[in-house]
Structure 1
Amino acid sequence: MKIEIWSDIACPWCYIGKRRFEAALDGFAHKDDVDVQWRSFQLDPNLPDHFDGTETEYLSQMKGMPAAQVRQMFDHVWQQAAEVGLNYDFDSIVVANSFTAHRFLHFAKTHGLMSEAKESLLSGHFEKGRDIGDIDYLAEVGQEIGLDSDRVRRVLASDEYADEVRSDISQARSLGAGGVPFFVIDRKYGISGAQPAEVFTQALETAWDEGQKLTVLAGTPQSTGKDSAEDFAGATVCGPDGCH
């Protein structure tokens, strides 16, 4: 079973959703047969490389909300994050365009390290005040997870993996994802938002059960119980009871 997760490193609900999904997956009986693939998405592709201001100021300007209202929103998100073991620090967030970081994730993917890179960047952004738009920081993360830091710098100084990021974003739109996190199971089931772990559990079990069933699209066997010449002449499938 394949699960694709579209998310943005700069999305606070994406990290919360990641934890809730992981809790559900950890308790899933068939978790070893689940292939999780991370996909890129950008909430604000028009954001400059860096915003000269705080996260509060940025969201206040972008959403046209009073700063006090933004802070109330942060308090709610902080509480939800704390419930899954995350310690958000909105005052220390560095507001930066996430495109370069997404290219880094795709580079890490070529080495089978995308999941580790994703976790490190989310924690760095929301809990540690690190700059996800800074190549030196991304190279540091790369080294921590086993990549060559100089190679990371060379890749990110170019346009490598830009097409992969854009392709992910395009696929999200074609699937009808208006926001993130967005979870897609076997390209048949979609889950939008950081849903409670119980919702993910139910979705995993439903998708697994449905995946074990076979829908016959053509040719319903109707056995006569005999292999007559007439049966054989029109046969398209053979089984223990004859050809049908």
Structure 2
Amino acid sequence: MKIEIWSDIACPWCYIGKRRFEDALDGFAHKDDVDVQWRSFQLDPNLPDHFDGTETEYLSQMKGMPAAQVRQMFDHVTQQAAAVGLNYDFDSIVVANSFTAHRFLHFAKTHGLMSQAKEALLSGHFEKGRDIGDIDYLAEVGREIGLDPDEVRRVLATDEYSDEVRSDISEARSLGANGVPFFVIDRKYGISGAQPAEVFTQALETAWDEGQKLTVLAGTPQSAGSDSTEEFADGAVCGPDGCN
């Protein structure tokens, strides 16, 4: 079974969804037969390399969201993150474009280390206030997971893996994903948003048992492109205008 997960490093629900999915996968009887592949997505491709301000200021100034609404959203997301063992610190987040970090993830993938890199960057961004747009930081993460930091710097000083990132984003759009996280099982079942672990468990078991039979797993199906993927509705998701 192949599960592709489209997500953005700058998406708070993506990290929560990762934890919930991992909880479900850990209890899945066939987990050793599951191939998890991380795919790139950008919530805000037009974000400058760095924004000189806080995450609250960015959403307020650039997205037109009232500061009080932003803080309320952050409080809610922080509580949900804590429930899965994550310690979010929105006040310390460095607001940076995630494209370079996605290129780093694709480079890590060539060494079989994309999952480790993904975890490190999400934690760095949301829990530790690290700068995901800084090549020196990405080289540091590379060293920590077993990559040559000098090679990381060389790759990221070029445009290598840019096409791979753009291809992932384009493919997500073709499948009907307008927000992330977005999970696709065997190009047949789609799960939108950071659903509860129980929903992921149901999806894994149903997809395994049903084989090639197309089944609506939960919610109201929505078209997800030419691959006839069915999508779960109403999961918590981040989109271009913010997170719910």
TM-score by length of 1: 0.87
Question: 1:116 touches 1:145 (CA, 8 Å); kept in 2?
Answer: yes
Secondary structure at the counterpart of residue 184 of structure 1: strand
Aligned length: 244
Residue 59 of structure 1: how far off its partner (Å)? 1.0
* 1:27-84 residue CA offsets vs partner (Å, 9 max, x unmatched): 0000000000000000000000000110000111233121111101100000000000
Question: 2:192 touches 2:235 (CA, 8 Å); kept in 1?
Answer: no
Match of 2:157 in 1: 157
Q: Evaluate the alpha carbon distance shift between residue 199 and residue 52 of structure 1 in structure 2; reply closer, same or farther with a 3 A threshold.
A: same
Question: 2:188 touches 2:229 (CA, 8 Å); kept in 1?
Answer: no
Residue 210 of structure 1: how far off its partner (Å)? 1.2
Q: Evaluate the alpha carbon distance shift between residue 202 and residue 239 of structure 1 in structure 2; reply closer, same or farther with a 3 A threshold.
A: closer
Distance 1:233 1:70 in 2: 24
Distance 2:226 2:175 in 1: 48
Question: 2:218 touches 2:233 (CA, 8 Å); kept in 1?
Answer: no
Secondary structure at the counterpart of residue 112 of structure 2: coil
Residue 217 of structure 1: how far off its partner (Å)? 23
Residue 89 of structure 1: how far off its partner (Å)? 0.2
Question: 2:89 touches 2:126 (CA, 8 Å); kept in 1?
Answer: yes
Query: Structure 1: which 5+ runs fail to align?
Result: none
Q: Identify the range of structure 1 (229-238 vs 120-129) with the bigger mean alpha-carbon deviation.
A: 229-238
* 1:153-182 residue CA offsets vs partner (Å, 9 max, x unmatched): 000000000000000000000000010000
TM-score by length of 2: 0.87
Q: Evaluate the alpha carbon distance shift between residue 219 and residue 20 of structure 1 in structure 2; reply closer, same or farther with a 3 A threshold.
A: closer
Distance 2:105 2:71 in 1: 30
Secondary structure at the counterpart of residue 150 of structure 1: helix
Question: 1:124 touches 1:130 (CA, 8 Å); kept in 2?
Answer: yes
Q: Evaluate the alpha carbon distance shift between residue 15 and residue 94 of structure 1 in structure 2; reply closer, same or farther with a 3 A threshold.
A: same
Query: Structure 2: which 5+ runs fail to align?
Result: none
